[in-house]
Structure 1
Amino acid sequence: MTRPSGSSRPSGTEHGEARPPRGADAPDDRRPEDQRPARSRRRRGEPLAASWSPERAPAAPAPRSRRGALVAIGVVLLALTGFVVVRALAPSAETTDVRSPAAAAEQGPVVGEAPLGGDYAGVSIPTAELPAGGDFPVSGAGTWRVVPGTTPQVGVGRVYTYTVEIEDGATLAEGDGAFATAVDATLDDPRSWAGTGQIALRRVDATSGVVPDFRISLTSQLTTRAQCGYQIRYEASCWKSDIGRVLINGSRWVRGAAAFEGQLGLYRQYAINHEVGHVFRNQHVPCPAAGELAPVMMQQSFGVSNDYLAQLTDSNPQGIQIPRDGKVCRPNAWPNPTGR
């Protein structure tokens, strides 16, 4: 099943590289001229070598090896002097992230995005497992209360009436009215059963004086298991013809199904349309062609891969033998997806 909704990778630090300020000249020695060391009394710009005096004979040139050593020592001293000056003039404050963008990218983000949707063709992928998520109604009283409200008729053909109900003791965070609104909006949609041009639907309540043709009932996890059976050890909803009740499993209503990759609203529409489809005597079907929208009567709560569904239902038939043909569909909530 929700991708929670885009982040971008940092392209680098926000600020450019800090440049050292222009340094000031070294402070002057304020001592009197006659109290300064001899080397300090030299004039600015004179070489670092001993002072030149015309009265002295010129010194003999140093041997070549000695001259090279002196040059090397001078280069080292100049390099060290430059390093000290730069360090002295550089600002003491540093940016928060002192790594280069390339180094940060190599180490990776502190936290990354979750992987995108998976390939459900492999039979080992447990898409029938209930996804993680919020709290759902675990148990209830086994009786249901009718949510007040009615709708005008939608569609043409034989009219089917329904009520919306909530199991006593089962509580939804969004309240009873939100469940009823979701049911009505799904069944009133032209992509739903009434949009096929073969039947019509109308919601009634306890004040209507009408015995409904079926009841759409939000039901706790354990009551659903007791009513629908639990041979396949995964959460499911069902149509109970003997009591005229579509049982929508509260755990699935809150958590959805893995094949829907977090699209909880789409899954809820599927759950309503799939179970109401059983009211109209539709049976389970497999994925007809790889990559196509799944038929709404495919058991998408368990997955959209024929191979995976076959693995689950071989020992617990669900009305049809699912072929192991490698076909994988895309999740779909509607019996009439085009709305025509």
Structure 2
Amino acid sequence: MSASGGPRRPGTQRDGTRRVSRHRGEALLGERDPRPPSRPDAARARHRLALGGLAVVLLVLTGFVLARTLHPVDEPADVRPAPEGPVVREAPSGGDLADTVVPTIPTAELPAGGDFPVSGRGTWRVVPGTTPLVGQGRPYTYTVEIEDGAVLAEGDQAFAAAVDATLGDPRSWAGSGQIALRRIDAAAAAGRAPDFRVSLSSQLTTRARCGYQIRYEASCWQSDLGRVLINGARWVRGAGAFEGQLGLYRQYAINHEVGHVFRNPHVPCGADGALAPVMMQQSFGVSDDYLAQLTDSSPQGGEIPRDGKVCRPNAWPFPTGR
């Protein structure tokens, strides 16, 4: 009813005036215009829908790229087989072998490690000390010497002790039943020269006196001077074929070079998988094929066959006894 008590029409105020919507032209909340949209409205709706879908795709792709950047996925490894056979490679420091084909096995390379004596004066001092005669057979005397100017971190006496322990071992040449060994020093010699000298020498002195045609570090026996030169670089670093067993390599180096004193030549691997003969050039490697190719241009006093045999490193002339 109206304020005057009579009935009032829908949409009018109590004072009889019409009620006006605050949101003219807008549908009320929850209302929906039942009429289909006009063609332009439908096109705009489809356009908005397409843009929305594209935005979602771009958002997903952006998230994927960010995820790959922040959390990279491990790619599958390249499983192609490595090339086999010899390759041409750069020469190690000290020589040019760029035109030489060498095998891929890198065991002749000097391993990484500590500092070693690079140069010395080319003269040697005798380390004091003597040992009793060890072994049976013809007696040989030797001295232990260090090149002047060449310094070992462990000292002269440590080198001498390693030489004595190696040559006095029954697996060494003293175990042959034909050789007896005794260390003397300058005082014990009394003016008489030893049969041979085991001399720790610097890298450059060893290269100059032993030769450096193969361009890898080696030790040697100088028969005209009666001197075994143990290369200080190898003494400190060892050889790749010995896989970090420095003590075993040092025993090998001593026994191998002293073996030349007794006129033993270089020999190849005897049987595949067997212990290498001590007179095999294990400082370079324990593969016959590798040594054969390495020494082709500079023969080392014994032919090495390309027979595929690979031995295990060994330090002793008689590893299982005489």
* TM-score (normalised: structure 1): 0.64
Q: Which residue of 2 aligns with 1:168?
A: 148
Q: Which residue does the alignment assign to 1:130?
A: 110
Structure 2 Cα separation of the partners of residues 194 and 185 of structure 1: 11
Please identify runs of 4+ aligned residues in structure 1 that moved more than 6 A.
Answer: none
1:298 counterpart = 2:263: no
Gaps of 5+ in 2: 1-72, 75-84, 87-102
- Report the secondary structure of 1:289's partner residue: coil
Partner of residue 320, structure 1: 302
Partner amino acid, structure 2, of 1:226:
A
The one-letter amino acid of 1:139's match is S
Q: Are the equivalent residues in 2 in contact too, given 1:314–1:321 (CA < 8 A)?
A: no
CA distance in 2, matches of 1:218, 1:253: 8
Letter of the 1:162 counterpart: Y
Matched ranges for 1:1-340 at <5 A: 123-208=103-188, 209=190, 210-340=192-322
| TM-score, normalised via structure 2 length | 0.68
Whether the 8 Å CA contact 1:165–1:217 is kept in 2: the answer is: yes
Other-structure match for 1:85: none
Letter in 1 for 2:175: G
* Native 8 Å contact 1:259 1:301 kept in 2: yes
1:321, distance to aligned residue in structure 2 (A): 1.3
Aligned length: 222
Letter in 2 for 1:306: D
CA distance in 2, matches of 1:143, 1:330: 36
Separation (CA, whole Å) in 2 of partners of 1:266 and 1:198: 24
**Partners in 1 of 2:148 and 2:193 — Cα distance?**
20
Deviations 1:184-243 (A, max 9, x none): 000000000001111100000000114200000000000000000000000000000011
Shift of 1:124: 1.0
Q: Deviation digits for residues 247-293 of structure 1, max 9, x if unmatched?
A: 00000000000000000000000000000000000000000110000
Contact 1:129 1:234 in 2 (8 A): yes
Greater C-alpha radius of gyration: 2
For residues 186 and 303 of structure 2, what CA distance do their matches in structure 1 show?
Answer: 40
Taking the aligned partners of 1:190 and 1:263, their CA distance within structure 2 comes to 20
Check the 8 A contact 1:283/1:297 in 2, yes or no: yes
Structure 1 vs Structure 2: percent identity of aligned residues? Answer: 83
Q: Which has the higher contact order (CA 8 A, sep 6+)?
A: 1
1:239 counterpart SS class = strand
Secondary structure at the counterpart of residue 275 of structure 1:
helix
Please, what is the CA RMSD of the aligned residues? Answer: 1.4
**Unaligned segments of structure 1, at least 5 residues:** 1-105, 108-120
